[in-house]
Amino acid sequence: MTRTDTPHRPPAGEGSVRRIPARRRAFRPYLLSIPAVLLIAGILYPFGLGVYYTFLNYSAMVPEPVLVGLANYAVVLSDPVFWESVRVTLAYAVTTTVVETVLGVGIALLLFRASLVGRMLERLLILPLMIAPVIAGVIWGLMYNPQFGVLNHMFGLGSTFDWLSEDRALWSVVLVDVWIFTPFVAVLVLAGIRSLPREPFEASAVDGAGALYMFRRLMLPMMWPYILVAVIFRFMDSLKIFDHVYVLTAGGPGGATRTLQIGAYQNSMTNLNFSLGSTYMFLLWIIVFITARYLVGVLGKAQRRAAGTED
Amino acid sequence: MSTLELRGLGARYGKKPVLHGLDVSVGDGEFFVLLGPSGAGKTTTLKCVAGLVDRADGSVVIGGRDMTGVEPYERNVAMAFESYALYPQKTVADNLASPLRSGRLGTWTEAERAARIEAVTTTLGIDHLRERLPKELSNGQRQRTALGRVLVRPADVYLLDEPLSHLDAKLRATMRAELRRLGEFSRTTTVYVTHDYQEALALGDRIGVLRDGRLVQVGTPAELWDAPHDTFVARSLGQPEMNLLPARADGGVATTAGGLAVGVDTNVSGPVELGVRPRDLTVTAGEARPEGFRVRGRVELAERLGRSVELSVRTEASGGGPGDTLIAVTDDPDVRERTAVTLSTEHSRVHVFAGSDPGAYAHRVGSARPRTDTEGEQR
Amino acid sequence: MATRERRPGSRRFSPAAAGADLLLVLWFAFSLFPILWMILLSLKTQAEQTSTYFRFTPTLENYTTVLSAEGERITSVDFTGALFTSLVTSLGAVALSLVIGVPAAYAAGRWAYRGSGDVMFTILSFRFAPELMVIVPLFIIYNQLGLFDTAFGTIWVLQLVTLPLIVWILRSYFQDLPEELEQAALLDGYTRTRAFLTVALPLVRPGIAASALLAFIFAWNNYVFPLILTGSENPTVTVAVTRFLGGGGQAYYNLTAAAALLAALPPLLVALSIQRYLVRGLSFGAVKS
């Protein structure tokens, strides 16, 4: 080893030292968050205004609205059209979430096997997910067309079979949702499976456990948090579905696909009854909020359990 | 070149306090070692000195200037982190150049920087790694790079957090020896954190033993070795750890449960602990010199540890008690299990700790002395 | 999972594996067919668009028509203008979100300051809140302020899409970054700003790139905001594509297909370029891969 000597130089700025009181140091993160908080305020203001509208009789006919208390809620909650929208929304959300979760987990498991076919196709998995849902709606609208749509031709259904008739429309828009969003569940769950530790599987293989046993007792519990994340995203998004449904059916025929957000759009933007539309939205918002709270709680529990910190 | 003073330094992690008012004064150019088990608050102390802990109580004084509220980059201290904290996107050379490029530590020309980096990397034996990225280094090489980023620059205080912990045993011994010889350390006030007592004894001008956020004892290695403040400090230094035998003192004699009796100061009474370091005990077959502390016994277990042999000896008590177990170390390879031996040492090597509360560490009150009563210690 | 070890070369044929591959092929047939069908439709002439399915003479004419002034005359949709508007609003929204979101994500990732959880949860709630709750009042406010049908108005409202994504993804990246790296920079003599810019920021660059590109995709693909808050001046591509369908009487399915594909192309290209980071982004940092 050679001896080394530090050349000694006086540190710059000796003598004049800035002092920052502890209180100002603690303020630093708030300072950095100010722009975001301002933006949040800019978003929360219209939200608050929207809630305020629900207590007015505000519409294009009534440009000088007055407070009407809970009248809008009374109207909406006693309107069978609203309850039909609730039913359609829940049916839509539950069906799409269940179907997409089952298919997505299945596809993830198939892709996890990493066969040659699987690895070639995996890169194409997310294509439908990255196309704008409204454009997916346009594409499927063209395919559903009874006269020249390719589906009726390929399945020999003739030109009278209407995919978007009153009793089929809901299932047809659900099918489009499945087409778009199943890859979302699949990529999330696939990433989850790939991040699982290998040791438990090797250990239980040594113990002579069967494939089915390993899947049910080991893989599924460890995958559960990932599946739940996917389910939460899908269910919450489905509750406020709008884009492809609106472009395919605009809520029709009748009210067959009139989800809550489409109903709110019709009230607010077509009939220009802002108060009624906002009431629809606020009720949907409450449903979404409660669901979110509940599901996030379930997720936290599942994550702790998968991490082994709770039984 | 500066002194460093901690005055009532306190820190908390969330609501839990981790430092309870440390007071210590480190002299200019002194090499001060903080020794303690993990969780004692060693790293937190360093970070407080560096100004990296936002909510610290008390004050840090460097070169006579109170550093309260002064930003880390204006304190002119350098720190080697235990996690290395090397910039992953920069090569070894660029990591070392970082402090020299900041402009706050003097102006360096490109050539001066290169020369300085070359000198330091050569000293640390990592000159051939200068163009590597941290991820391409072994842990030991990373640790030396982190040390290099400290040594490369002038500073009032060096703060080193376990800088040798990830080196292999051989390299650690070499580096320990070399560190002391580096000019940087003889000139720059250094606080060195370790949990390794050998490093502390070998490197420290003085050592501060930290336990649960409190400084238990501050002193030179010799002071800590010869007169440990309490049983915690006593057992922190030395391997095998100091023998501690619970005893009861009465009338100038302390008697263990096993029947071993030694003379103590007459004003010591009640429960005590007798401590003697295994390496302070001389092991002889048969009789030993008559003066000092001595005890006969039988070897129950002999464990060969390289050149020396670690013995577990069951003593034969004069009063007919069941005997005590003492650990001793000998270089004599002929000592085998079940042989009779005599263990002896000077009285000053037998420490007496007065137990205060059960569960707490007993404080040293002095050492053993020749017995003044008629019986004699042991024939 | 013994199958995990297998490499294609060493795999022997088994009926189960073949069945699994068959199922995968079935899904991908379903998944890719609509896209292939759109490509075919976009290559047909006006005369062939409704009269034939798979046999026709391909032409690229529809693409040139959609992008030309002539196409605008026929369909009364200024598609080139819409593409430009989408580009401006999406890029603008991402840029604004980065400026606002990077400091906020850093603050939330570095310090557990009081209220940080509330700020983060509120930002996340934007992602899940039904859009119309905000758009209807904004529609009225925008009309009063003159922001209706402007690029800036769209950029502002797109923050609901881009900000949560960027803040949440980047927070997870900042959380992964050891605090001691920046502390080392402080002791090297760098101010907090310089430590952030020279140490932290370069290390989260992959996260910034991935979240910005993903935010770009979702901003580009958004429909409901421009549907309500833009008119004839500044519609985005998603709105413009739907206008091909509404054309008075005459149906231009082939042009619609070409426009749909053109509108879908930018996000698809971006998505394929960031596939490695996609999962972490899609799950808002919840799933790291």
Let me know whether C155 and C19 are in one domain: no
Let me know whether B32 and B128 are in one domain: yes
> Does residue B8 belong to the interface with chain C, where contact is any CB pair within 8 Å?
no
Mutate to test the interface with C, among B53, B62, B79, B94 (most CBs of C within 10 A): B79
Q: Residue C82 in contact with residue C239, Cβ under 8 Å?
A: yes
Structure confidence at residue B319 (pLDDT): 62
Alpha carbons C286 and C109: distance in angstroms, whole number:
14
Number of structural domains chain B divides into: 2
Let me know whether B128 and B154 are in one domain: yes
Q: C8 lies in a domain?
A: no
Is residue C4 over pLDDT 70? no
Mean of pLDDT values over C172-178:
91
Mutate to test the interface with A, among C114, C172, C279 (most CBs of A within 10 A): C279
Q: Residue C215 in contact with residue C166, Cβ under 8 Å?
A: yes
Tokens of residue B10, six digits? 């306190």
ipTM of model: 0.88
Structure confidence at residue B288 (pLDDT): 65
Tokens of residue B261, six digits? 């009796």
Let me know whether C121 and C33 are in one domain: no
Structure confidence at residue C74 (pLDDT): 76
Query: Who has greater pLDDT, C226 or A28?
Result: C226
What band does B96 get if pLDDT is binned at 50, 70 and 90? Answer: very high
Give the pairing type, strands B282-285 and B270-276: unpaired
Closest CA in chain B for residue A7: B154
Q: Residue A178 in contact with residue A100, Cβ under 8 Å?
A: yes
Give me the domain span that covers residue B227: 4-236
Let me know whether C55 and C81 are in one domain: no
Asked if B73 and C183 come within 8 Å (Cβ–Cβ), the reply is: no
Q: B27 lies in a domain?
A: yes
Tokens of residue A10, six digits? 């006086």
Let me know whether C164 and C272 are in one domain: yes
Distances (CA, A) of B54 to A21, A102, A218, B213, B290: 10, 50, 44, 17, 61
B15 contact partners, CB below 8 Å, separation of at least 6: none
Structure confidence at residue B81 (pLDDT): 94
Structure confidence at residue B323 (pLDDT): 82
Let me know whether B232 and B298 are in one domain: no
Let me know whether C29 and C129 are in one domain: no
What band does C8 get if pLDDT is binned at 50, 70 and 90? Answer: very low
Is residue C90 over pLDDT 60? yes
Is residue C66 over pLDDT 80? yes
Domain finish residue from B220, B236, B252: B236
Place of tokens 């009726």: A152
Q: B373 lies in a domain?
A: no
Q: What is the DSSP string of chain C?
A: -GGGG--GGGPPP-HHHHHHHHHHHHHHHHHHHHHHHHHHHHTS-TTTTTT-SS-----SHHHHHHHSHHHHHHH---HHHHHHHHHHHHHHHHHHHHHHHHHHHHHHHH---TTHHHHHHHHHHHHHS-THHHHHHHHHHHHHHT-TT-HHHHHHHHHHHHHHHHHHHHHHHHHHS-HHHHHHHHHTT--HHHHIIIIIHHHTHHHHHHHHHHHHHHHHH--HHHHHH--SSS--HHHHHHHHHTSSS---HHHHHHHHHHHHHHHHHHHHHTHHHHHHHHTTTSS--
Mean of pLDDT values over C218-230:
94
User: Where residue C274 sits, what CATH number does that domain have?
Assistant: 1.10.3720.10
Domain finish residue from B208, B236, B264: B236
Let me know whether C254 and C162 are in one domain: yes
What band does B335 get if pLDDT is binned at 50, 70 and 90? Answer: confident
Q: B57 lies in a domain?
A: yes
Q: C3 lies in a domain?
A: no
Closest CA in chain B for residue A24: B69
Closest to A183 (Cα-Cα) out of A136, A224, A230, A144: A230
* SS3 (DSSP) at B177: helix
Let me know whether C196 and C113 are in one domain: yes
Let me know whether B62 and B166 are in one domain: yes
Alpha carbons B93 and B96: distance in angstroms, whole number:
5
Closest CA in chain A for residue B174: A1
Alpha carbons B314 and B322: distance in angstroms, whole number:
9
Let me know whether B302 and B359 are in one domain: yes
| CA-angle at C165, arms to A279 and C234, nearest 5° | 65
φ, ψ dihedrals at A252, nearest 5°? -90, -165
Let me know whether B125 and B194 are in one domain: yes
Let me know whether C168 and C263 are in one domain: yes
Mean of pLDDT values over C63-69:
85
Query: Who has greater pLDDT, B192 or A14?
Result: B192
Q: C275 lies in a domain?
A: yes
Mean of pLDDT values over B314-319:
76
The alpha helices in A207-309, defined as continuous H runs, are 211-214, 220-239, 243-249, 260-265, 274-306
Distance from chain centroid for Cα B40: 13
Domains of chain A by range and CATH? Answer: 71-136+181-306 (1.10.3720.10)
Nearest Cα of chain C lies from the Cα of A201 at a distance, in angstroms, of 6
Give me the domain span that covers residue C21: 15-59
Question: Which residues in C lie closer than 8 A to residue A117 (C-beta atoms)?
Answer: 21, 24-25
Let me know whether B226 and B255 are in one domain: no
Strand partners, B325: B314
Domain finish residue from B236, B254, B283: B236
Alpha carbons B79 and B148: distance in angstroms, whole number:
10
Answer left, alpha or beta for residue A61, where phi above 0 means left and psi between -120 and 50 means alpha.
alpha
Q: C287 lies in a domain?
A: no
Strand partners, B351: B275, B367
Mean of pLDDT values over B22-35:
93
What band does B318 get if pLDDT is binned at 50, 70 and 90? Answer: low
Let me know whether B199 and B57 are in one domain: yes
Let me know whether C50 and C83 are in one domain: no
Q: B376 lies in a domain?
A: no
Tokens of residue B379, six digits? 């024939």
How many other CB atoms are there within 10 angstroms of residue A24's CB atom? 11
Is residue B8 over pLDDT 50? yes
Structure confidence at residue C250 (pLDDT): 67
What band does C249 get if pLDDT is binned at 50, 70 and 90? Answer: low
The secondary element (H helix, E strand) that includes residue B302 is: strand B293-305
Structure confidence at residue A6 (pLDDT): 47
Place of tokens 């053109």: C262
User: Where residue B331 sits, what CATH number does that domain have?
Assistant: 2.40.50.100
Is residue B260 over pLDDT 90? no
Helix axes C79-110, C237-245, angle to 10 degrees: 140
Alpha carbons C111 and C113: distance in angstroms, whole number:
5
- In angstroms, how far is the first alpha carbon of chain A from the final one? 57
User: Where residue B65 sits, what CATH number does that domain have?
Assistant: 3.40.50.300
Place of tokens 């991040």: A195
Q: B21 lies in a domain?
A: yes
Let me know whether B174 and B272 are in one domain: no
Let me know whether B132 and B232 are in one domain: yes
Number of structural domains chain C divides into: 2
How many other CB atoms are there within 10 angstroms of residue B282's CB atom? 18
Strongest mean pLDDT among A155-164, B65-74, B77-86? B77-86
Q: C5 lies in a domain?
A: no
Mutate to test the interface with C, among A86, A117, A196 (most CBs of C within 10 A): A117
C207 contact partners, CB below 8 Å, separation of at least 6: C169, C170, C172, C173, C277
Positive/negative CA dihedral, C102, C108, C113, C115: positive
Q: Residue C82 in contact with residue C226, Cβ under 8 Å?
A: no
Q: Which of residues 89-148 of A touch C (CB under 8 A)?
A: 103, 106-107, 110-119, 121, 123-136, 138-143, 145, 147-148
pLDDT by 10s per residue, chain A, length 311: 333 444 444 444 445 567 777 677 778 888 888 888 888 888 889 999 999 999 998 888 888 888 888 989 999 999 999 999 999 999 999 999 999 999 999 999 999 876 787 888 888 899 999 999 999 999 999 899 888 788 888 888 877 888 988 889 999 999 999 999 999 999 999 988 888 888 887 888 788 777 788 778 888 888 888 999 899 999 999 999 999 999 999 887 888 999 999 999 999 888 899 999 999 899 999 999 888 888 888 888 887 877 765 44
Answer left, alpha or beta for residue B59, where phi above 0 means left and psi between -120 and 50 means alpha.
beta
Helix axes A274-306, A80-112, angle to 10 degrees: 30
Let me know whether C134 and C55 are in one domain: no
Asked if A284 and C130 come within 8 Å (Cβ–Cβ), the reply is: yes
Q: What is the DSSP string of A126-169?
A: THHHHS-HHHHHHHHHHHH-TTT-HHHHHTT-TTT--TTSTTTH
Q: B377 lies in a domain?
A: no
Q: B378 lies in a domain?
A: no
3-state helix, strand, coil in chain A (%, to 5): 70, 0, 30
What band does B362 get if pLDDT is binned at 50, 70 and 90? Answer: confident
Is residue C266 over pLDDT 90? yes
Let me know whether C47 and C80 are in one domain: no
Tokens of residue C96, six digits? 């604004």
Structure confidence at residue A279 (pLDDT): 92
Let me know whether C149 and C247 are in one domain: yes
Let me know whether B131 and B248 are in one domain: no
Let me know whether B313 and B189 are in one domain: no
Q: Which amino acid is at C287?
A: V
Nearest Cα of chain B lies from the Cα of C186 at a distance, in angstroms, of 5
Name which of A94-103, B183-192, B272-281, C185-194 the model is least confident about.
Answer: B183-192
Q: B341 lies in a domain?
A: yes
